[in-house]
Amino acid sequence: MTARITNILIANRGEIAVRVLRAAHEMGIRATAVYSDADASARHVRLADHAVHLGGAAPADSYLHIARLIDAARASGCDAVHPGYGFLSESEEFAAAVTDAGLIWIGPPPDAIRAMGVKTEARSLMERAGVPLVPGFQSDTATDAEFVAAAERIGYPVMVKAAGGGGGKGIRIVRDPAELPEALAGARREAAHAFGDPRLFLERYIERGRHIEIQVFADSHGNTVHLFERECSAQRRHQKVIEESPSPMLTPETRAQMGAAAVEAARAVGYVNAGTVEFIVTPAGEFYFLEMNTRLQVEHPVTEGVTGLDLVKLQITTAQGHRLPFKQDAICQRGHTIEARLYAENPRLNFMPAPGTLIRFIAPYAPGVRVDSGVVSGDTITLHYDPMIAKIIVSDWTRTDAIRRLDRALCDTVILGTTTNREFLRALINHPAFLAGEVDTTFIDSHLAELIPPEHPDATTLDHALIAAALHERTLAPSSVTNGKAITPDPWARADHFRVGGE
Amino acid sequence: MPTYSYVYNGETYSVALEALADGTYRAVIGERAYTLRAIPNENGGLTLAFDDGDRATVYASSVSGTRYTAVNGDPVTFTLPEAVKRSSHKAHAGDLTAPMPGQVRDVLVKAGDSVKKGQTLLLLEAMKMEIRIAAPADGEIQSVRVKTGDVVEMGQMLIGIG
């Protein structure tokens, strides 16, 4: 059975809403956007064919409001819903509501979301499917004392994780048994707030582990393939900063074993559409299942870079009931792709979020460089949502070339109006450990001092900045700077923002 | 010659900038003098073309008393001297202010409460990140200026402690 999708409601915001919208347009499909009060003139709303206001800026009043989203889809004549990532993308309830409303859900079946969504249940399922698991403890009814006893059995350090979680929220690493009760309380509060589910579980913490995930894709005809790995070990407080493919540490044998394990994991839950199986890999190359993300990932462009596939278009055709247009052996991993997440945050102030208006945002434009962003110059990074400005994705033939290309792309990235992690990203990718492919998940947090860029520019840069400011000042008060003499044309006023093609 | 002053990292810098008849500029900063052309680029920035052949790509923009610039992408932000004066009446030593713009998630104390150093007084959230505002020393809460759900600006007074 195949159905034709003609109008997609994109139940998200920011860069991923723009990404999905673009794929829809390429396929000749209408794109319907939704927005909160804070996003009335956001880029995803501007680019859509049709836009529906949901409610207040708080996610609960807008992007998490299932009834309003379904109403918006119906009122707009949509026949499908794409959830993006975050928000309701892994909500079994939303997927079911979409399906019940007679709409096509561009994502996995609700049953698969449920099976993988509760991390403790996922562990049990994976154990039965023969997928390797990190030693751990799970119980929905355990008291803190039982958690403490379990941690003793597993062995410290242990990780406290949210059963309903993902994205690093609610995670605590505990090395000292005395700190476990407070970690449980803190994780519980964060998990209840972030996921509406305070349940926790424990896992042994793998020292010097690498975070390597496998992209999988399945159609509704029983075909399941993997699209190779993405290494996301460059994390700060469990939040990914840089993602790349191939992983610089995997051997071809381990890569093949992980791919096969990921396909088994997906098959075990009857998976359809795009998904990601996350593994932790020890320095010796042993890998253990962490969790499966039942949605498109932030870092999906990395896989697109090395496979040449468009995962969003593939999601749409798969949701229409089409077969995957290739078999496993037709897919190859070619060259090297790296993604950097550019955030409005201040690395010198403990990465404090730095919401604000992007007075100027100049994205890099060069061969092999892709920028996915939900904002342009003049747009605002609001405090209501995540602080991402853009994903900068580069591809080249070797890892070294790709890193150099990314560094140049970051050089060419200009942001005026707020503080960003741009210089931190450059320091990270130029660090000897990163260049050598030796970064594990603790690297950034334990080498932070080496990665925080110098606070002040060198003397020449400062002079150039002063000259730039003074030239700018002339445009603000031209009468006061002409001195009644012959007026030199103002260089900033001559700047032509709309020149096309360049001369 | 028109002169512009900017404050960076507590120091005031003056730039004397003169537009010469041949379309070039002369800039004097302290004892350093530069002669340059300013060539607009396609993105609304300028290439500063110095007479020694060196080049730099710069951008600049302003919001009230703040001047944002970027030199070859690296950001440098200045404040106008008059804007520094306006903001210089700082908060009292016992005032806890918001370290970031955000929303007050929870207020855990009320005026008159005795608190210990390090005790969490308030939870602030922005962009999915939770920040604990803790007591910097033992003391008594003098005032609580915000309530749960309030949206606060960076630097806004949250709690007075004495």
- CA A391 to chain centroid, in Å, comes to 9
Q: Which long-range contacts (CB under 8 A, 24 or more apart) does A364-370 make?
A: A364/A392, A364/A408, A364/A409, A364/A410, A364/A411, A364/A412, A364/A413, A365/A412, A366/A405, A366/A408, A366/A409, A366/A412, A368/A394, A368/A395, A368/A396, A368/A405, A369/A393, A369/A394, A369/A405, A369/A409, A370/A301, A370/A305, A370/A394, A370/A395
Q: What are phi and psi of A51, to 5 degrees?
A: -140, 145
Mean pLDDT of chain A: 92
Give A430's pLDDT tier (boundaries 50, 70, 90).
very high
Q: So where are chain A's domains? A: 7-106, 135-204, 210-451, 460-494
**Which pLDDT band, with edges at 50, 70 and 90, does A168 fall under?**
low
Q: Within a 10 A sphere around the Cβ of A31, how many other Cβ atoms?
A: 24
Interface predicted TM-score (ipTM): 0.82
Please tell me the predicted confidence (pLDDT) of residue B97: 86
Asked if A7-106 and A135-204 have one fold, the answer is no
Interface test with A, best of B58, B80, B119, B123 (most A CBs within 10 A): B58
Residues 403-432 of A with CB under 8 A from B: 410-417, 419-420, 422-423
pLDDT value at residue A495: 47
| Residue A82: strand pairing partners | A10
Q: Is B110 exposed, middle or buried (0-12, 13-18, 19+ CB in 10 A)?
A: exposed
Contact A89, A195 (CB under 8 A): no
Does pLDDT of A498 surpass 70? no
Contact assignment for B151 to A387 by CB distance below 8 Å: no
Give me the sign of the Cα torsion angle A478, A481, A482, A488: negative
Using the Cβ of A461 and the Cβ atoms of chain B, whether some distance falls under 8 Å is answered with yes
Give φ, ψ of B77 to 5 degrees. -115, 130
Asked if A479 has any chain B CB less than 8 Å from its own CB, the reply is no
CATH 3.30.565.60, domain A135-204, yes or no: no
pLDDT at site A418: 93
CATH class name, domain A210-451: alpha beta
- Write down the pLDDT at residue A485: 42
Domain boundaries, chain B: 3-86, 95-161
pLDDT digits (tens, 9 = 90+) for A269-316: 999 999 999 999 999 999 999 999 999 999 999 999 999 999 999 999
Tokens 């890099």 belong to which residue? A364
Looking at the DSSP bridge assignments, the partners of residue B5 are B14
Structure confidence at residue A194 as a pLDDT band (50, 70, 90) = confident
- The Cβ of residue A404 has, within 10 Å, a number of other Cβ atoms equal to 16
| CA B11 to chain CA mean position, Å | 14
> How many angstroms separate the CA atoms of B16 and A130, rounded?
73
Q: Which residues of A273-289 are buried (b: 16+ CB within 10 A; e: fewer)?
A: bbbbbbbbbeeeeebbb
Which backbone phi and psi does B126 adopt, to 5 degrees? -145, 140
Q: Which residues, including other chains, have CB under 8 Å from residue A13's CB and lie 6 or more apart?
A: A34, A35, A36, A39, A42, A44, A63, A84, A374, A385
Question: What would the pLDDT profile of A366-378 be if each residue is shown by its tens digit?
Answer: 999 999 999 999 9
Q: What is the mean pLDDT of residues B78-94?
A: 73
What does the pLDDT read at residue A500? 40
What pLDDT score was predicted for residue A487? 46
Question: What is the arithmetic mean of pLDDT over A108-115?
Answer: 96
Interface contact flag, B71 A464, Cβ < 8 Å? yes
- Cβ distance A265 to A454 under 8 Å? no
- Name the architecture of domain B3-86: 2-Layer Sandwich (3.30)
| β partners of residue B37 | B49
Identify all chain B residues contacting A359, using CB atoms and an 8 Å cutoff. Answer: 61, 63, 68
pLDDT, residue B136, reads 85
Q: What residues contact A455, with CB distance under 8 A and at least 6 apart?
A: A348, B9
Interface subset of A 176-215, CB within 8 angstroms of B: 190, 193-194
CB A417 within 8 A of CB B63: yes
User: Within 10 Å of residue A61's Cβ, how many Cβ atoms?
Assistant: 14
| φ and ψ of A229, to 5 deg | -100, 165
Q: What is the DSSP letter of A133?
A: B
A43 CB neighbour count, 10 Å cutoff: 20
Q: Is B100 helix (H, G, I), strand (E, B) or coil?
A: coil
The predicted structure's pLDDT at residue A237: 85
Count CB-CB contacts under 10 A for residue B157: 15
The whole-angstrom separation of Cα A350 and Cα A137 is 33
Convert the pLDDT of each residue in A214-247 to its tens digit.
Answer: 999 999 999 999 999 999 999 998 899 999 999 9
Residue in A383, A415, A495 nearest the CB of B75: A415
**pLDDT higher than 90, residue A213:** yes
CA A121 from chain centre, in angstroms, equals: 24
Of B151, B88, B89, B148, give the one whose Cα is nearest residue B123: B148
Which pLDDT value is given to residue A503?
34
**Residue A214 β-bridge partners:** A229, A277
Measured between CA atoms, how close is A36 to chain B, in angstroms? 15
B68–A contact, CB cutoff 8 A: yes
Supply the pLDDT for residue A163. Answer: 84
Q: What is the CATH architecture assignment of B95-161? A: Beta Barrel (2.40)
Fold designation for A7-106: Rossmann fold (3.40.50)
Give residues with Cβ within 8 angstroms of B36, minimum separation 6: A467, B24, B25, B27, B48, B49, B50, B51
pLDDT of residue B93: 64
